[in-house]
């Protein structure tokens, strides 16, 4: 029996899975996965992750919200969009397990930092009201992201997904009491900085993720990513922590279940 695993961050609703989505999910089940959490990036994909969760009851779960790179809109439009997202939380309490992905992304320049921050703060408020954890997306914006959470995220918990910060930033994430998650890029030869950061995150504060279809780990690098490939990331985490895959999977699965309050 393979150890139970959870992919805490996937985008299986993307078109790139249209031809074989069921096979991708089945491959994960065959490899011992007990859950996949699909993360939305806007209102429409929030509906899609819920749909996937309904079609794969108890296995796929939904995180709904507006990604920072999708948050460029007027204040009125943001209000309408987030009201719709919050309504989905009410209508689908069985499916929705979190708010995300939310945060700041200064790598892509299409959306102003001010618009991103407005959407970020408003969604931290939704998470607090709905008592849901958040999934944080942060790219080249660590100081501001941490500052927003420290100021506006009181009473909210969550995970920093696809962590790309320094050892010091990982420490601040841990000080908040939050979880940290590393994607397949942890396995890339040049990613020693990431491995250094992963080394300071205790096993019981790590989550496993793919960010499918992106960031396939080393042996699959350049190909479409899918949940089973996160086992390579688990092996890398095991190496960093001087332990084995089974121990990493047990710890990360327990943490995913705890953070997202999964029963499976």
Interface residues with Zn ion (CB under 5 A)?
101, 137, 211
Strands 206-208 and 96-105 come out as unpaired
Find the angle CA(139)-CA(65)-CA(61) to the nearest 5 degrees.
105
Q: Toward Zn ion, which CB reaches closer, 45 or 253?
A: 45
Q: Minimum distance from CB of 158 to Zn ion (Å)? A: 13
Pick between residue 230 and residue 245 the one whose CB is nearest to Zn ion: 230
The residue number with the shortest CB distance to Zn ion is: 137
Shortest Cβ 244–Zn ion spacing (Å): 28
User: Least distance in Å: CB of 142 to Zn ion?
Assistant: 14
Q: Bin 58: left if φ > 0, else alpha if -120 < ψ < 50, else beta.
A: left
Q: Which of residues 86 and 101 has its CB atom nearest to Zn ion in the complex?
A: 101
CB nearer to Zn ion: pick between 7 and 101: 101
DSSP 63-125: EE---GGG--S-HHHHHHHHHHHHHHHHH-TTTEEEEEEEEEE-SS-SS-HHHHHHHHHHHHH
Q: How far is the CB of 209 from Zn ion (least distance, A)?
A: 8
Nearer to Zn ion, 185 or 245 (CB): 185
Nearest to 187 by CA among 179, 198, 178: 198
Q: Nearest approach, Cβ of 183 to Zn ion (angstroms)?
A: 8
Cα 102–Cα 105–Cα 110 angle in degrees, nearest 5: 110
Nearest by Cα to 27 from 9, 12, 45, 46? 12
């Amino acid at each position: 029996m393979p150890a139970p695993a959870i992919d805490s961050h996937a985008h299986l609703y993307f078109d790139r899975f249209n031809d074989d989505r069921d096979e991708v999910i089945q491959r994960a089940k065959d490899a011992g996965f007990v859950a996949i959490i699909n993360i939305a990036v806007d209102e429409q994909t929030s509906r899609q992750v819920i749909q996937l969760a309904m079609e794969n009851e108890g296995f796929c779960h939904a995180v709904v919200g507006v990604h920072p790179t999708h948050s460029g809109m007027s204040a009125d439009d943001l209000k309408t969009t987030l009201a719709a997202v919050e309504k989905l939380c009410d209508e689908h309490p069985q499916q929705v397990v979190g708010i995300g992905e939310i945060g700041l992304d200064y790598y892509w320049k299409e959306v102003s930092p001010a618009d991103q921050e407005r959407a970020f703060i408003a969604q931290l408020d939704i998470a607090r009201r709905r008592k849901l954890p958040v999934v944080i997306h942060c790219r080249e914006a660590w100081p501001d992201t941490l500052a927003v959470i420290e100021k506006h995220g009181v009473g909210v918990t969550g995970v920093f997904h696809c962590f790309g910060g320094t050892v010091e930033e990982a420490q601040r994430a841990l000080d908040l009491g939050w979880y940290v998650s590393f994607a397949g890029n942890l396995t890339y030869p040049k990613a020693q900085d990431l491995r250094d950061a992963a080394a300071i995150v205790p096993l019981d504060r790590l989550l496993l993720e793919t960010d499918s279809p992106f960031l396939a780990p080393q042996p699959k690098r350049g190909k479409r990513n899918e949940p089973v490939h996160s086992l390579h990331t688990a092996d890398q985490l095991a190496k960093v922590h001087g332990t084995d895959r089974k121990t990493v999977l047990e710890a990360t699965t327990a943490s995913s279940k705890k953070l997202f309050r999964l029963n499976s």
